[in-house]
Amino acid sequence: MASIINDLHNAFRRGNIYIRLIYINTGVFVATALIDVLFRLFNSTVGMLFEWFELPASFTQFAVQPWSLLTYMFMHAGFLHILFNMLWLYWFGALFLMFFSARHLRGVYILGGICGGLLYMIAYNLFPLFADLKESSYLLGASASVLAIVAATAYREPNYPIRLMFIGTVRLKYLALVVIGMDLLFITSDNGGGHIAHLGGALAGLWFAAGLSKGRDVTAWINRTFDFANSLLHPKPRKPKMKIYKGGGTGRAQDYNYNARKRAQSDEIDRILDKLKKSGYDSLSADEKKSLFDASKR
């Protein structure tokens, strides 16, 4: 078991950003599924527990669980739900990285989820069609985040060829238009909230790509926030402080200066003594006599 966990950990670390997002979504899905099985064994349910991580349509409920605006985009309702979302993330995540950076993909994923969630709540509180559903509706899934990635890529390379099974090759812009158009048509369906969130994610992707083409990165604040959080969780080791000794102060510099002065004084006395031996005391200057006298007192 330990080796399996270690292999998964290494695969996560080696994977690029969309692979890591797939691992996170899958890990959350497996964990919630196992918790659900455990509760069912005791004839209980985890519905109320999971709702704290799903995005409520009600602004009142959202006020007591604001974190759900981030957590809902990693939650999924079932196997097919996560399967199709992760397949789209795998296909279009790789395509996105051909034209943008990994940091951009991380930022667009989060931005798409946030915009999709906000549009979902606004719509459910604005339109009378959803008035009776507002208090009991919750949003979950990575669809809005994935649609943001699709829309951003389609804006950047609208004529990129996409090969579809049974259909053939189509341009990316047409695929994006069909997907967004279907969401518009099905707003009033049973899953109206999900389709509204998709539209919010797609608009976020277009917002990002259009802004970046003008030199403005609307995901910069998201990446700065993640970088700051990562620096708190994984602080860099501090380098040892270097001691600096200033001239005239204490320490090594003072010792060096003192020794240099002593050597100079000793050399001067030796020179005077040599002169005294060769030429006699009268040959010494007043300064030399004084230096010799001072040395004799030490």
Exposed/middle/buried for residue 34 (C-beta within 10 Å: 0-12, 13-18, 19+): exposed
Q: Could you tell me the pTM of the whole model?
A: 0.77
pLDDT tens-digit series, residues 18-45: 999 999 999 999 999 999 999 999 888 8
| Residue 277 and residue 226 in one domain | no
Q: Chain-wide mean pLDDT for the chain?
A: 87
Domain count, the chain: 2
Across residues 11-18, what is the average pLDDT?
Answer: 80
With 70 as the cut, is the pLDDT of residue 239 above it? no
Structure tokens at 115: 């915009």
Least confident of 6-10, 128-132, 165-169: 6-10
Domain containing residue 260: 252-297
pLDDT at 167: 85
Name residue, tokens 């003594």.
273
Q: Phi/psi at 33 (nearest 5 deg)? A: -65, -40
| Residue 84 and residue 202 in one domain | yes
What DSSP string describes 213-263? HTT--TTHHHHHHHHHHHHHHSPPPPPPPPP---TTSSSHHHHHHHHHHHH
Does the residue 244 lie in any domain?
A: no
| Residue 266 and residue 225 in one domain | no
Closest by CA to 201, choosing from 160, 156, 152, is: 152
41 CB neighbour count, 10 Å cutoff = 8
pLDDT tens-digit series, residues 77-104: 999 999 999 999 999 999 999 999 999 9
Does the residue 245 lie in any domain?
A: no
Exposed/middle/buried for residue 213 (C-beta within 10 Å: 0-12, 13-18, 19+): exposed
Whether 82 contacts 69, CB under 8 Å: no
With 70 as the cut, is the pLDDT of residue 281 above it? no
Q: Between residues 260 and 17, which one has the greater pLDDT?
A: 17
pLDDT tens-digit series, residues 191-235: 999 999 999 999 999 999 999 999 999 999 999 999 999 888 877
Whether 72 contacts 62, CB under 8 Å: no
Does the residue 176 lie in any domain?
A: yes
Looking at residue 131, its amino acid is: A
